[in-house]
Structure 1
Amino acid sequence: MQGKLKGVAYDIVVQALKSQNLNVKNMVLPWKRCLSNAAAGKVDLVPNASFKEQRLKFAHYSLPLYTTHLMLVYNKEKFKDIPKIQKISELHKFKIGGVLGFNYSKFVGVDIIRANSRKTLIDQLLLNRIDFAILQKEVFNE
């Protein structure tokens, strides 16, 4: 990762911890490792984790800090016209990519090819290894 950590969740968490005189050590890890470390008690806090019932076995959730919107990103070189997708069930005929460990519970019945990071996911899209990448609009547009 290049540069300084930033973002809404980062700012809120750092401010909240500082207000309680708590020091924070930030670790940037692949998402799946963040979750497994949290489950193993090696990480105290994982900002940006979406709600999943199975995570209640090892995690507590705060109220939501913000909302994001999932979108399908595609390579313009592969699709000359904007693909017309009306229902999630129509995605079964395409190769769909996502990030390992991310919550895609809204995509029931869709086989999602998992990448280790957003960068790898975008690379797969640009190399035409997948037809669509599921990304958060607010993160992608940053």
Structure 2
Amino acid sequence: MDKSGMVIVIEDDADDQFVLEEVFKELNLPNKRIYFPDGHTALRYLNGPSEPIFLILSDVNLPRLTGLELRLELKKNADIALKCVPYLYLTTSVNHQHLIDAYCESAQGFFIKPSEYHEIKDLIELIVKYWTASTAIRAT
């Protein structure tokens, strides 16, 4: 994890992408953000050479490759695993099995998307503060 790295958001809903970007701007998050509409596109990007990454925020229910499937694929990539990038789910899914599967695959967080803007902002602020305060391991 590189605290100055970019934030990867994997979210197929354009409205949710817009809201998240507004929240990041309002919180003055200096990190670059990249948005992907599905897990397959994100996987292709993440498997290639990329800039340092701070956080990955992923929906669970995504087209082509779900957030859970994407997490499994990323764990197979030793280069990505060594970067110790926090993989967090931010989803509307309240499926109990999704929650179990996410934590069984070592997700660092599973958050249900609030419906109100101020609640989303508070949640994102909490997530960013937590990971900014945590001690990072830098891959060599």
Tell me if both proteins adopt one fold, taking TM over 0.5 as the criterion: no
Name the structure where strand makes up a greater proportion of residues: 2
Name the structure where helix makes up a greater proportion of residues: 2
Q: How does the TM-score come out when normalised to structure 1?
A: 0.29
Q: How does the TM-score come out when normalised to structure 2?
A: 0.29
Larger radius of gyration: 1
